[in-house]
Amino acid sequence: MSNAITTSQFEADVLQSPVPVLVDFWAEWCGPCKMIGPHVDAISNDFEGKARVYKCDVDSEPEIAQKYNIMSIPTLLYFKGGKVVDQVVGAVPKTTIAAKLESLL
């Protein structure tokens, strides 16, 4: 299961992570977000110990969404070494999400 990320945790848990990080920007009211939510949760389990996976609710944590110019959700940002190295906007298959994360390992 992926974990919720907050503004106060973002620096330590995402930007300073020693492993690649996937952050799913979503909202409760977003239909496509609910479609990929189970994929993100499964990937969190699949990559346990190799990468970190977090969910960022754009309504609860608008500062993070604004910092990364999140205009559409779902948006998946892939971080490595504290920088965004890839992204996906919209609902995509689990294989697409996993392949991008796998390429960062």
Residue 56 is a catalytic residue: no
Q: What six digits make up the tokens of 2? A: 């992926």
Nearest to 82 by CA among 52, 102, 58, 57: 52
Query: Burial of 48 by CB count in 10 Å (0-12 exposed, 13-18 middle, 19+ buried)?
Result: exposed
Indicate which residue of 5, 21, 30, 64 is catalytic: 30
Residue tagged 């503004």 (tokens): 7
Candidate list 5, 21, 33, 101, residue with the active-site label: 33
- Catalytic residue numbers read 30, 33
